[in-house]
Structure 1
Amino acid sequence: MFLMLQFILVLGVRLDIQDKHVIMDNGIVQVTLSKPEGIVTGIQYNGLDNLLEVVNDESDRGYWDLVWDEGGNKTTKKGAKGKGRFDRIEATNFTVIVENEEQVELSFTRKWNFSLEGKLAPLNIDKRFIMLRGSSGFYMYAIYEHLKEWPAFDIDNTRIAFKLRKDKFRYMVIAEERQRFMPLPDDRSPGRGEVLAYAEAVRLVDPVEPEFIGEVDDKYEYSCESRYNRVHGWISIDPSKSIGFWLIMPSYEFRSAGPLKQYLTSHVGPTALSVFHSIHYSGVDLIMKFGPNEPWKKVYGPVFIYLNSLSDGVTSTKLWEDAKQQMVNEIESWPYTFPASEDFLSSDQRGKVEGRLLVRDRYINDAFIPVRGAYVGLAPVGEVGSWQREAKGYQFWTITDDKGYFSIINARPGNYNLNSWVTGFIGDYQHDSVINITSGCAINVGELVYEPPRDGPTLWEIGIPDRSAAEFYVPDPNPMYINRLYVNHSDRFRQYGLWERYAELYPNEDLVYTVGISDYTKDWFFAQVTRKKDNNTYQGTTWQINFKLDYVNTSGTYKLRVALASVHSAELEIRINNSGANPPLFSSGLIGKDNTIARHGIHGLYRLYSIDVQGTLLVQGNNTIFLTQATNTSPFVGILYDYVRLEGPPYTNLKHQN
C-alpha cells in the first residue's frame, strides 16, 4: 500500500448507520452502502469523493447480480438479451454481524418464500461486506442457498460488478501484457460507434479521442482463464496523483468449471467484474440446473477490492506491481480467518491431499515418467472430465512440481474425484477412488499413473495436445477491425472477425493439409468455420488430411484420435478415401454451444473422439481423411481442433503389453 500515513493507520474501523445508507470507514477507505439493499453507492479514497460513476443511479454502481430462469417446463428465457431473467440483487434486511475497532462485517439478506415464485430466483441470499483496520480496501462475499422443498430453477450467471467514473479511470490492466488506455463508453453510442455482427462488438468510427478511430471495442476481447484471473482493474492517471482500483480473487475454489474456464474481467464502462459463474465459452452444458427437491448452499468469495495510489501521477507500473504483490499477500492469507459466517470454513476445518503423478505411454516410453506442471484437482464426483462442466460445488487445484509431486491444501469437507490432465497427452485422468475430505485430514494417495488413450504407435499427428488451438495458424485481422492491443501480441486470436479471414484465404477450395510437408502453425487454420456465400448464406466446409502409408495391415484396426478444443453448433463428419461415403465413418451429431469463435477464445469445452479405422479403408500409398463441418447456420458455427493423431494397429508382440 502506498498510502502509509501512520496516524491514519491507528484509527479503528467506524460504522455510521443512517436512514438509507451505511458507511464503513477505517480512515483510509470509506465505503457507502444502500440500506437495506446492500448496493455499493460510494467509495471514497485519497481525496476522491467517489470512485464510482456518480452520474449513474445509486443502484448501478457496485452490485451483485444474477441471471436465472424457472426450471423444467417453466423455462422461458425471455429476460435480458434473451438469456434469462436479470436480477440486480437487492436485499430486504440489514444486520451488523461484527462491529469493533478491528473489523466491521455487515450482512444484507434477501429471504425467498412461495409468494415470490416466478418473480425472484428461489434462493436465500446473504451478501457480506468486511472492512479491517489498516486495510486499503474491503472484502465482499455471499452465501446462496436453495432449500429442498423449493421449486426448480436455473442459474446462467452470477457476479459482482463495479461501474467506475469514466472521467477518471481510463487505463485498464488485466495482465502484464494486456493493459492499455481504453475508449470511453460514449464512443460506443450510435453515431460514434458502428455495431458489428453482435451488440457487444462495436467499431469506433467517431470516438471522442481520435486515437481510437477504427478500433473495435468488444468486452469478450478481455476475457481471462480462471487460473490467471487473480487481479485486474483500472488506474486513474492525474497530474497530481494516480489511483488504482483492483479486484483481487485470492482463490478460484468457488468459481465454476475449474482453472481453464474463461470469464469476463474488465471492459469499457469503465467496468470491473468478478464473475463466479457464467456459461460463456461453455454454453448450455454449464447452466446450473436445480431440481425441485435439491438442497444447495455455496459461498462465493470473499474477493478483495483493493485501492492504491501514487503522487507522481504519470505512471501505472508501480500501481500494477503493488496490486500484484497485494494479490500474493491475499493468496497466502487464504482461507481468511476473519469472515464471520460459519459457512466460510477456516483452514483447520479443511483437509489436504498429496501424492505424485506419473505418466506412462507405452508406445513412447515404457517408463513411469514424473509429470511437471500438470494440473491436479479435486472436483465433485462425476464422470471422467466432468470437472469442466461442474458448477454447483467447489474445486481445488494445484500443479505438480519438477518430480511430479503435488499437494492440494485447504479443501472443504466432502466427496471428490481427483482429476488431472497433462499437456502433451490426450484425455483426462481420474483417480479410481472417491476422495473423502474431512476437517483436518491429510490424505496421501501415493503414486498415481496416468496412461493416456493409446492403442498403437503414432503414424502421424497434427498440433499439440494442450486443449487449445493456439498453436495453429491465426491470421492477421482485417485492417478495418483491429484492437491495437493485440497487434504483434501472443494473444492474436483475440482480434475481432478472424472467422471471416478463412473464406478470404480459401475462397473456393477448402484447406488441404499434407502430412510431412505442411506445417500446422502455418497451414492449419485455427478454426474450421463456414464460408460466407454471395447471398449472405453460409456453407459447411470439408478439410482434407493427405498422408502416405508405406504398408497397410488390412486385417488390423487403426485408431484416429480427434481432440477438439471447442465446438459451436457444429457436426463433425469423418470419411476416409471417399468424400461421398454415406453414412460417414464417424459423425459427432450436432454438438457444442461454446460460442468461442465469436468471443475471440482459443478454447472452450474439451472433447475427445477415438474412432476405429479398419485397415480395409486404407491403401498403401496416398490416403485422405475428409473432415466435414456440416452445419451452415451462421458465421460462428465451427470447430477448434486441439490435436489429431492416427495410430497404427497394436503391436501383437509388443513387449510392453500387459
Structure 2
Amino acid sequence: GQRAEVSVKGISGGNLMGKGPGAPPEGDLAVDIEIRYCLSKADQGVYTYCIFEHRPEYDAGDFTEARLAAKLQAFFSYMHVDDDRTGPYPLFNEGWDKYVYTALQWKNRAYGFSSPEKGLGWFMMLPSPEFLSGGPTKAEFLAHGIDPTVLCYWRSSHYRGASLILEKGEEWSKVVGPLFIYVNEGQSPEAMWNDAKRRLKKEEQAWPFDWVKNAAYIPAEKRSAVYGQLILNDTPAEVKKAFQAEIYVGLTRTPYKINTPEGALRLNWHNDAKYNQYWTKSQDPEGRFYIQDVPAGKYTLSAFADGVLGELTQSDIIIPESGQIDLGKIVWTPVRRGKQVWDIGLANRSAAEFAGGDAYFRPGQALRYAAQFAANTDYTIGESDYSSAWYYAQMPYANDSSKIIAFTGMSGTGEETSRNIRFTMDKACNGRAWLRIALCGTGADPRFDVLLNGELIKQIDPGISDGALYRHQIHGIWRELELAFDAKLLRAGANTITLVVPGGSLNNGVIYDYIRLELHEK
C-alpha cells in the first residue's frame, strides 16, 4: 500500500486521563484519547493527530495543558521560530527563559530546529490552524529548551490561554491535527527552513486530507468555501474608506457561557478551545475575503483590521454542507463616540509600531525603558513620532539594582512613570469627550491613573492580567478601555492628558496598542 497508519487508543471508562503540566496527580479529566501516526511511501516525514472524545456518561472536566511535544537530539542546535528568532540556540543570553521564544501560532506554522553540522532539519508543520485555540492573535510556545523542544500547544493557560470545559452528559469530540513532522536535508539552516516553508504550502493545499477517517474530521466534500466583502463605513469624512493593510475574518462558535469555580465565564473566539475556528487573512483594500473548508454549521462572523479600532461581529451565519457561499456585502461601521481629536499608534492589536516594540521578546524591557526614556516623558500631538517617542509598554521606572530574573521577569521595584500627552484645542468645548485606550497586553498589576491638566479623572483597572509584559510578548488579551468625561474640562489652548503607572514591581504595567481622543460637542 501507499500509506500505513498506527493507532494507540486509551479508553477512559470514566477514569481521569492525562497527567501532564497543570493536571492533578490523579489525572485531568475523563476523555478517550486516540493518537494516530501515518507514514506514506513518498513523504519525508510522519503525520500525527489526536482524537479526543467525551462520552455522555463521563463526568464533567476541564482540560489543563494540551500539547504535542518532541525533544530532539542536542546536535539540532539551530532554532527556527519566526523571522526575528532564527539562529544558533540560545538566541539570547541575558536572563534566558523559554518565554522569549513564544510567537503567534496562526501565523508561524512551520518551525523547529536544524543541524548545520549534519545538514539535517526537523520541522513541525500545521497544515491548518483550525483546531487551535484563541484565533490569529494567540501567542504560544513553538520551540524552546536546553534540550531542543518543538511543540504544538493547542490549549494552554499561557497569556490567560483559552478554556475547554466539558459538562457531565455532554457528547463532544475534537481532532487535533494532522500535524506533519518533516525531516529534510540542506547545505545551510536557512536553506532547510526555506524548504520547510515551501513544503508547508504543499500541505496547506492538500487540506483537508482525504485519508483521515473519523466522524469529527470533516472531509472536503462536506465543507464549503465562504466569501464576501466588508464595506468599511467609518463616519468621519477624513477617514479613508479603504482598508489599510491586513484584515482578519473568521467564522467561529457563537459566544457561550460556562460555569467555573470563579463564576460564569463568557467564551468567544479569543478564549475558546472547545470548537474549531475558520479564519482567513485578506489584504484587499476593498475588503474582499475568502474562507476555505468551512464545515456546515451555525457561526458568528468576526473581523478585525489594521487601522480600525474595535471588531465586527455578525451572528447567525448559516453554512450548508458544501458549496460556494456568498455572504454578500457586510457593512462595518466602527464605533465612534465623536469627532477624532487625535490618536497615537496604529489600531492593529499589536505594539510592534512603537519604540521598542520590534524587540519585545528580549528580556529586560524595564531596563531598556529606563535607559531610553525619562520617568516623566512628553509626547506632543502633531510633533512627536510614536515610533521613536512612545515606548511600547509602560511600567515602573527601573533603578540600578534591578535585575532580569528568568521566568518571572524583573526583580525589584521602580518609581512611578508618567506619559504626558500634550495637545492644543482651538476653543473651549461643551458635550462629552472620550479617551479610548486599546491594550494588547498587561503586567502583573495593570492599573494606571488618567489625569487631565493635572487633575485625576479616574484610576483605570483593565481587569485580569495576562502576563504578556513580563513574559516577553505583545499579544496578550486585547481590550479596549473607554473613559468618558465632561468636555468642559478641556481648555482652549494647551492641554495635557497624563497616564501614570504607579511605583511598584517592575512586572506591573501595560502594553499599548492604540490611543484616541474623541469629542462629541452639543
Shorter-normalised TM-score: what interval?
Answer: 0.7 to 0.9
Partner residue of 2:30?
Answer: 122
Partner residue of 2:262?
Answer: none
- For residue 562 of structure 1, the aligned residue among 426, 429, 437 is 437
Q: How does 1:404-423 map to 2 (within 5 A)?
A: 404-423=287-306
Partner residue of 2:408?
Answer: none
1:553, distance to aligned residue in structure 2 (A): 1.9
Report the AA paired with residue 609 of structure 1: L
Do the aligned residues in 2 keep the contact of 1:463 with 1:643 (CA within 8 Å)? Answer: yes
**How many residues are aligned here?**
492
Relative distance call for 1:385 and 1:291 in structure 2 (3 A) is closer
Distance 2:506 2:51 in 1: 40
- For residue 380 of structure 2, the aligned residue among 514, 519, 526 is 514
Do the aligned residues in 2 keep the contact of 1:570 with 1:631 (CA within 8 Å)? Answer: no
Partner secondary structure for residue 135 of structure 2:
coil
Do the aligned residues in 2 keep the contact of 1:567 with 1:591 (CA within 8 Å)? Answer: no
1:465, distance to aligned residue in structure 2 (A): 0.9
Partner residue of 1:59?
Answer: none
Report the AA paired with residue 517 of structure 1: E
> What are the superposed Cα offsets for residues 524-563 of structure 1, whole Å, 9 maximum, x if unpaired?
1211112356794445544322222121223x11222111
Q: How does 1:453-532 map to 2 (within 5 A)?
A: 453-474=335-356, 491-505=358-372, 509-532=375-398
- For residue 194 of structure 2, the aligned residue among 288, 299, 321 is 321
Relative distance call for 1:165 and 1:418 in structure 2 (3 A) is same
CA RMSD after TM alignment: 2.6
> What are the superposed Cα offsets for residues 614-642 of structure 1, whole Å, 9 maximum, x if unpaired?
1222211222223233583x322211111
Partner residue of 1:608?
Answer: 480
Q: How does 1:634-649 map to 2 (within 5 A)?
A: 634-649=505-520
Partner residue of 1:90?
Answer: none
Partner residue of 1:221?
Answer: 100
1:381, distance to aligned residue in structure 2 (A): 0.6
Do the aligned residues in 2 keep the contact of 1:462 with 1:520 (CA within 8 Å)? Answer: yes
Do the aligned residues in 1 keep the contact of 2:397 with 2:503 (CA within 8 Å)? Answer: no
Partner residue of 1:192?
Answer: none
Partner secondary structure for residue 325 of structure 1:
helix
Partner secondary structure for residue 216 of structure 2:
coil
Relative distance call for 1:179 and 1:338 in structure 2 (3 A) is same
Do the aligned residues in 2 keep the contact of 1:576 with 1:625 (CA within 8 Å)? Answer: yes
Partner secondary structure for residue 463 of structure 2:
strand
Partner residue of 2:260?
Answer: none
**TM-score, normalised relative to structure 1:** 0.70
Structure 1, gaps ≥5 residues long: 1-100, 184-211, 476-490, 653-658
Partner secondary structure for residue 137 of structure 2:
coil
1:571, distance to aligned residue in structure 2 (A): 1.6
Q: How does 1:527-606 map to 2 (within 5 A)?
A: 527-532=393-398, 536-554=412-430, 556-568=431-443, 569-579=445-455, 581=456, 585-589=457-461, 591-606=463-478
> What are the superposed Cα offsets for residues 185-232 of structure 1, whole Å, 9 maximum, x if unpaired?
xxxxxxxxxxxxxxxxxxxxxxxxxxx995553322222212322101
- For residue 388 of structure 1, the aligned residue among 239, 252, 270 is 270
Q: How does 1:100-179 map to 2 (within 5 A)?
A: 101-116=1-16, 119-120=26-27, 121-166=29-74, 168-179=75-86
Partner secondary structure for residue 323 of structure 1:
helix
1:506, distance to aligned residue in structure 2 (A): 5.2
Report the AA paired with residue 516 of structure 2: R
Do the aligned residues in 2 keep the contact of 1:359 with 1:370 (CA within 8 Å)? Answer: yes
Partner secondary structure for residue 611 of structure 1:
strand
- For residue 232 of structure 1, the aligned residue among 95, 107, 111 is 111
Distance 1:173 1:613 in 2: 48
Partner secondary structure for residue 446 of structure 2:
strand
Distance 1:174 1:610 in 2: 36
Relative distance call for 1:306 and 1:289 in structure 2 (3 A) is same
Distance 1:421 1:233 in 2: 30
1:159, distance to aligned residue in structure 2 (A): 1.1
> What are the superposed Cα offsets for residues 567-609 of structure 1, whole Å, 9 maximum, x if unpaired?
2331233232244x3xxx3444362321111222123111112
Partner residue of 1:94?
Answer: none
Relative distance call for 1:553 and 1:371 in structure 2 (3 A) is same
Partner residue of 1:254?
Answer: 131
Partner secondary structure for residue 449 of structure 2:
strand
1:337, distance to aligned residue in structure 2 (A): 0.7
1:149, distance to aligned residue in structure 2 (A): 4.2
> What are the superposed Cα offsets for residues 56-79 of structure 1, whole Å, 9 maximum, x if unpaired?
xxxxxxxxxxxxxxxxxxxxxxxx
Distance 2:243 2:114 in 1: 43
Partner secondary structure for residue 494 of structure 1:
coil
Once the two structures are aligned, what percentage of the paired residues are identical?
32
Partner secondary structure for residue 604 of structure 1:
coil
Structure 2, gaps ≥5 residues long: 18-23, 257-265, 403-411
Report the AA paired with residue 329 of structure 1: K
Partner secondary structure for residue 158 of structure 2:
coil
Relative distance call for 1:387 and 1:111 in structure 2 (3 A) is same
Report the AA paired with residue 404 of structure 1: G
Distance 1:631 1:382 in 2: 38
Do the aligned residues in 2 keep the contact of 1:359 with 1:371 (CA within 8 Å)? Answer: no
Larger gyration radius, structure 1 or structure 2: 1
